[in-house]
Amino acid sequence: MKRSELEHIIRASGEIAGDAEIIVIGSQAILGQFPNAPVRLLVSMEAYIYPKNHTKKADKVDGAIGEGSSFHQLHGYYAQGVGKTTAVLPENWESRLIAVNNENTNGVTGYCLEVHDLAISKLIAMRPKDLDFVQELARQDMIDKKTMLRRLKRTTLDASILRAVRTRIDSLFKS
């Protein structure tokens, strides 16, 4: 997915939900902070989103421009309408969101996760594709260990998951 495609999804999601603010929590949130992110980080064709002020309309967005929709068939990318609790995130993540608002979003603001918050959520999810994504962030020097560990401490997790994520962070930054 390219930045212009994410902007299209933000615009369309806002129009469908009747909400001028859209939260982007999936991997393509990287395009908020890094509009020209490395290609290896942009392989996903879906953007995980929810309307900030009308969260229950995420299903409506998913139905209209989600996977398998005519929008998806026409453009080759789509929105995955999700819930506010889909991603486990560090405290105060909302204060670090990166705003995407330009003529392509037609007055709708997409708020994308900051890269360290995104990486923490991916490490917690523990799916192989998420681990690959975070490894690429580390290879590209887009995240740093100290910030990752600080954010991890500000995340509510079971002790066993906390240890597993801390171990993953340590392994990402071995010389």
- Structurally, the chain folds into a number of domains equal to 2
Say which residue the tokens 């918050």 belong to.
117
Mean pLDDT of 60-86: 96
Identify the domain containing residue 153 by its residue range: 116-172
| Coil/strand/helix, residue 114 | coil
Same domain, 92 and 121: no
pLDDT digits (tens, 9 = 90+) for 78-93: 999 999 989 999 999 9
Of the chain, the end-to-end C-alpha distance in Å amounts to 31
77, 93, 114 — which closes off a domain? 114
Same domain, 64 and 103: yes
pTM: 0.94
pLDDT digits (tens, 9 = 90+) for 105-148: 999 999 999 999 999 999 999 899 999 999 999 999 999 999 99
pLDDT of 175 > 70? The answer is: no
* pLDDT value at residue 174: 83
Contact 79, 46 (CB under 8 A): yes
114, 129, 153 — which closes off a domain? 114
Same domain, 10 and 29: yes
As a whole number, the mean pLDDT across the chain is: 96
Same domain, 18 and 63: yes
pLDDT of 60 > 90? The answer is: yes
